[in-house]
Every structure is written in structure tokens, then in C-alpha cells.
A = this chain, B = another copy of it.
Amino acid sequence: MAHSRQFISLAEARPPFFVGVDVGGTNIKIGVVDDLGRPLSWTSIHTEVEKGPGAGIARMQQAIQQVIAQTGLNVGAIARIGLGTPGTMDIAKGILLSPGNLPGWWNFPIRDRLSEAAGLPVTYSNDAGAAAYGEFWVGSGRVLHSMVMFTLGTGVGGGIIIGDLHVEGENSAGSELGHMIIDYHDTARLCSCGQRGHLEAYASAPSVVKRTEELLQEGRKSSLQARIAAGQELSSLVIDEEAERGDELSLEIVLETARYLGIGIVTAMHAIDPHGVVIGGAMTFGQHETQTGRKFLQRVKQEVCQRAFPILAQRTTIDYASLGGDAGYIGAAGLARLAYSRKS
């Protein structure tokens, strides 16, 4: 799924061109994208967080030159760079504040430093928001007028896009959909952020593992026990695999996760009433490719049908993301394109 995207040739491409940069804690993905959101070239470098942000900028700049050279374009043909990073951040000022997975890069003016190094203007955004914009622009949401995206992984993130407006938030903290409260009681599950009852505490990969461990401790039988006995660490991926092989408990956990996600989707639907909802991130159970993925999506839709206003349940599309790991750099490039089109 992640890297199946085909590149187009320069002859097919439509200018202007944009570079998208998607900074993660482990890797940085960089690609050149044309005016229709089609990648011409792509690369991935190690973030090497421990070497600090200055070295990171130098490596990004080299990689940007390299991906541009691969296309046959020269730097002058690039209109703008789009840069997405994890938060916390100050988007207006272009500064990384205190992102948990970029230790040592805190309070770093990443936007302006990249702009100086690359000699191009840079549009800065949140990585989850950029991925959502990528899906909205040329991915699963390309036919939608407005979209809410949920990304499932270590955390639950999101993005809200309404027409040309990408909801960044007044404090660069918009679309933190994993931190909507779905259970206000003091007995609710604890979220990674320290608060209780957030969607993320029910629908993230660590929560899937935690809920599974609880059922195993209750003495439930599962093929997971053999995997654990063989030294395998319990993960959402292992649970996904066993669900696909017919393990009842694993499937139960997957469908329970779908139910919680459906509850969060209903709140977002009632608040925003988007044209469609897109589900992406690392933990999407094989999407349409596997039985488990299809059952997961079906269970999400079932919960939405039961809980949402009937007209919204009927009309709002819900589907998986389609750009996989490319969504971030494509979307960052798309947001750069938006900024470029507004300025020119």
C-alpha cells in the first residue's frame, strides 16, 4: 500500500512543481509533486534525531536537491516547498515547540531554516493535517467538498478540511480528534496525554494491545497465547494477523476498536457535517485487502448508522485512505500549492 504510487515523467507533468517534506521521528520523506498532485520522484532519509536539527536541515536540503535532480528539473522550476512536522508546534511562526518524537529539536525555527537552506519559500503544517490534505487533494477524499480524517497508529490524529480551508487551529492544535472525550466518567480509560476518556485511549494501537491483554488476563482463549509463548511481543499487527487467521478474540478486539472509532466519527459528523470521513494511519488492518480490514470498516459504518442523524448516516461517505505513507509529503506539497495560488 505505502509505496505503490507510480511516478509520472516530466513530459506528462503539469507545472508549477512543489516539493513536499514529511518529517517523522524515524524517517523524513521528500518528494516532487506536480500541479495535479502526482509525484515525479521520491526519497526517504533517516531523521537521525540525535544529530540535532541543524544537521537535519542540511540532510533535507541535500535530499531535496537530489529528488529535484532525479526529475530532470532544476531548482528554479520549484514554486514552493511544503513542510509537515509532528506537533507541538507554532505554525504561524514556523517553529517546532516540543514534539515528543523529535527530542533535541525543540523550539527550533524549522520553517525559516529550511527556507534559507533550500532557497525557496516554505509552507509549514502539522504532519497529520498535511496527510489529511493529501487524501483530500488526490487521495480517497478527492471527490469530497469537505472531509474529516482519522489516523490510527501510536496515537489517534486527524485532519479537518472544509473547502479550501485546512483547520490548523488558533494555537496550531486543531484536529486533535484523538482527544475528543467519548466517556466523561472518572472510570474512563487513561489516555497517553494523561487525561481520561479520550478516543485515543480506546482506538490507538497501544489501546488495542492493552484491551487484548486485559481479556487474556481474564482467561480468554486465543491463538495469541501461542504467539506470545513463542516470544512474540503483542502488537496491533500481531492481533491483526491472528484476526485474519480466524482467532475470535483478536477479531473481537478489532471490531471493538471499530466501534469506538465509529463513536468518535459520529461526534465529528454532528459537529462538522463533512461530505466524507477518511480513515488512515498505520493501524488500518489491511484496509480493503483483508477480511479483517473489510470487517473493521463495516463495523465502523454500522456504529455510525446506529448513532448518527439518519440523513448524515445515509449521505456521509466513510472509507479508507488511499495514499498510504505518501499522503504526508503529497499533502505538504498540496498546502504549499494552496499558499502559492493565493499569493500569485
Q: What is A's interface to B at a CB cutoff of 8 Å?
A: 88, 145-146, 158, 160, 162-163, 165, 167-177, 179-185, 193, 195, 260, 263, 266-268, 270-275, 307, 309, 311-312, 315-316
Contacts and interface: CB of A to CB of B under 8 A. Distances in A.
A107 to B, nearest CB: 14
A275 B173 CA distance: 11
Contacts of A275: 170
Contacts of A195: 307
B267 A180 contact: yes
A78 to B, nearest CB: 28
This chain's copy number in the assembly: 2
A183 B184 contact: yes
The 10 closest A-B pairs by CB, nearest first: A169-B273, A174-B273, A179-B270, A170-B275, A180-B267, A173-B273, A176-B270, A184-B263, A182-B184, A181-B267
Contact of A271 (B146, B160, B260): B160
B267 A173 contact: no
Contacts of A146: 169-170
A160 B167 CA distance: 12
Most chain B beta carbons < 10 A, residue from A145, A171, A268, A315: A171
A319 to B, nearest CB: 15
Contacts of A311: 88, 171, 173
Contacts of A145: 170
Most chain B beta carbons < 10 A, residue from A146, A170, A179, A311: A170
B263 A181 contact: yes
18 contacts: A88-B311, A158-B271, A162-B162, A169-B272, A169-B273, A169-B274, A170-B274, A173-B273, A173-B311, A174-B273, A175-B273, A176-B273, A180-B180, A180-B271, A181-B266, A193-B309, A267-B267, A268-B271
A160 to B, nearest CB: 7
Given A175-B271, A180-B180, A195-B307, 11 more contacts: A146-B169, A169-B272, A170-B316, A171-B312, A173-B312, A176-B271, A176-B273, A181-B182, A181-B263, A183-B184, A271-B272
A223 B163 CA distance: 53
A181 B309 CA distance: 12
Contacts of A158: 271
Most chain B beta carbons < 10 A, residue from A158, A169, A183: A169
A145 B169 CA distance: 10
Contacts of A179: 270, 309
A180 B271 CA distance: 7
B268 A171 contact: no
Contacts of A183: 182-185
A334 to B, nearest CB: 19
A174 B160 CA distance: 13
